[in-house]
Amino acid sequence: MLVFLMILTAASQIGMQGWITLFNNFAVERAGFSGFEVGLVQGIREVPGFLALLVVYVLLVLPEHRIVALAITTLGLGVGLTGLFPSFWGLTATTLVMSFGFHYYETLNMSLTLQYFDRSQAPLVFGRLRSVTGISNIAAGLTVLLASRYMDYAGVYLILGGVVAVAGLWALTQDPSHKGVPVQRKKMFLRRKYTLYYVLTFLAGARRQVFMTFAIFLLVKKFGLGVTEITALFILNNTVNVFANPLIGRAINRFGERALLTLEYAVVSVVFLVYAFSDSKWLVACLYVVDQLVFNFAMCVGTYFQKIGDSQDISPTLAVGFTINHIAAVVIPIIGGALWLWDARMVFVGGVVLSVCSLIAAQFIRTPRHEEVVLHVK
């Protein structure tokens, strides 16, 4: 299962990172998009995240390892077709296909990890998968950089999508499952005992949107960082993450979710304050790397749920949580955009407020002690 998830995680990140890297230039240069149309398609891209809870009904028909294989194949198909339809409706259609594949994989990827690896192994597996994500993002960026010199957008998208689809088709021939895993409930529900998990998930989604939507925009808009500098920052981030994520997984076992989430939200509160009021672009750029690093502590929310949840609730609860997480994907950019027009600093002051709320919520984490901590995955 570990090898299965590592290969599919690499494929999902190559597809998504490649799509994101090319999208804005392709939309403007080939499809003639304005800012409004770019924003609209990006908003549509988040719709499958809202609908992630519907995966519960797909589980009535197919086992999870089959669904993730089909999801990766679908992601590859959507990415591969993107360059062939340079129009609003064409990009809308291929974006939805690609996004359904990506979001359904992300939902069940976490579910499979929590089901197949115990409480001490799961953080280490999450760390490894996030390291794979960093390596894959770098590979996708280099592929785009090199391939775009020799072929047009359609060709690059076909290469990226083809690699992803081949990985999905390979996965369809595999069966990494075993019978010892508890059967998952095939219905949607909300439970009072998971309230803190829901709250942490929503706040994590809100914090993610402030970071993803406005942090890089600040570096470009206010400090004038060019494409080369942003690309260098991107490579640095992913390189740091490759080495740091396994250590974060071990730290969860040693210090627990509450300690790491407390550290994350305390650090992020300071980072957002610097974003709001600093005039030093290099300080802001360095803290962007720190922000990206502690962002990986979000895996603690999933491992916290594993420790408090019923084993049969993993798939449906994570699907509902994924939908809750994506509520912020629509709300925060709209609110943040309005605040930016009034005073850009207020966007990051709002980020501080969200971080403090998360910090308070994290103090309520209580997890049962487990007898043995495994510091490696055999």
| Model pLDDT, residue 35 | 58
pLDDT band for 56, please (50, 70, 90 cuts).
confident
Q: How far apart are CA 169 and CA 172, in angstroms?
A: 5
CATH number of 1-175: 1.20.1250.20
Which pair of structure tokens corresponds to residue 98?
């690609």
pLDDT tens figures, 186-197: 777 788 889 999
| Model pLDDT, residue 99 | 92
Which pair of structure tokens corresponds to residue 326?
């994506």
DSSP 236: H
SS3 99: helix
CATH class of 189-368: mainly alpha
Q: Give the residue extent of every domain in the chain.
A: 1-175, 189-368
Query: Could you tell me what percent of the chain has a pLDDT over 70?
Result: 95
Q: What is the mean pLDDT of residues 347-362?
A: 93
- pTM listed for this prediction: 0.82
- Other Cβ atoms less than 10 A from the Cβ of 331: the count is 14
The total number of residues shown for the chain amounts to 378
Same CATH topology for 1-175 and 189-368: the answer is yes
Q: What is the mean pLDDT of residues 287-303?
A: 89
Q: Are 108 and 361 in contact (CB under 8 A)?
A: no
H-run or E-run covering 90: helix 88-116
